[in-house]
Chain A
Amino acid sequence: MSVALPAVDISRALIRISHEIIEKNSGSDSIVLMGIPTRGAFLAQRLAQKISTIEGHQIPVGTLDITLHRDDLRMNPIRPLVPSLSPTGGIDGRDVILVDDVLFSGRTIRAALDALGDLGRPRSVQLAVLMDRGHRELPIRADYVGKNLPTSRSQVVKVHLTEIDGIDEVVLESEEVK
């Protein structure tokens, strides 16, 4: 197990991404942050906080549970649903920024795009992730990346956040040989 991103780097990456989001969208008037539970939701809250501080007004933030849109439901045991939270003002005509912790196969994001379509019709959808570990199985890429981390498929990237794990860090684990 090795630490891929310590707390100080997570904080730095989030500040940088906040600025990039404002820069790319020429301000923050039209943006809405949608976090993908569990940890993406906390990251979205943090980004919204930082952007609000920089811009001086509140950024709408919500969560998007994508469980019911997954394409691998039949392959795994049942997952309990996570309460989803609609952002104030909805997403119609807004620039929606999806936030997740790790970008891997891209299947979660595909499901999230479907789920967004049920909520409304955003003007654009962008993607922010803390870690991009490669191994995409779908034509999906992130607009904002905290850190690109080359991995092998058998490794596991674990994001820990203080809100739920008591500590901020990203660790890279090699799967144990059984």
Chain B
Amino acid sequence: MNIFNLLNAMPGVFSQGLIWGITAIGIYITYRVLDIADLTVDGSLCTGGAVCIMMMLSGHNVFIAMIAATLAGMLTGLVTGLFHTFMGIPAILAGILSQLGLYSVNLKIMGKANQAINVDKYDLLVSLRYIKGVVFYKNPIFVVALTILILVLVLYWFFGTELGCALRATGCNGNMARAQGINTNKSKVLGLMISNGLVGLSGALLAQYQGFSDINMGRGAIVIGLAAVIIGEAVFGKIFKNFGFKLIGVVLGSIIYYIVLQIVIWLQIVDTDSLKLLSALIVAVFLAIPFWKNKYFSKSALKKGGNNNA
């Protein structure tokens, strides 16, 4: 339990936390803005990774490959959105159906369960190998942080536009949104597409970073993303009120999640096989906190009624 082992691992932990932070932003958009728990992400993360690696292996430029991965992610969101709105399937089930279907799709894209890419032969944007001993602008922490900054700026702008406001209204109050002439089905589909596009991009970065795409790389992505969202809100909720900062809070939540995970591994509290169990339990407790707060510590319950004290 050498502290230097832990410190040595930190740059890698930060990179991973940042890459997953993009997934977490995607999940924030569905879970918080649209009020939909979208399980598509467990499949679309791998779709993004698979598309990116296969495009690069067939000789495409890394940026083209990443754009393709993002578009593929958006397509998975479109499918879930149509399951939900056009076919009337409950959102959570629509996501599960997409996720299951994507398992086959991802296998077809890759041709087998995993595809490796050699960092020496291909010009990757991010890689484990660039963690140390490269100029700063090749460092994955810098590259991903810059990507996130751009994404947050674009999303901040978008959610301030008419279309973005319509999306927020849809998630907040569908009745109100329809009464104001908003096609809530369209909004939901659009939100799911944006979210899964981000997740696809995150998958593309993750696959490059670890040097391969794998059929199981998205397993539990929704849980990790939710953990990041919840931790980010718990830690930074009081400080970050602005929408853009909230998204950054979610990314920081993702980094904290990976730091905690690394510490747990370092302390050898649980073996690595049990990590997913630990993640699931942590997220379950964090999800329960607002519920418990309302049920057992609700001092303002009477005030909250609010109808009669105009």
Same complex: no
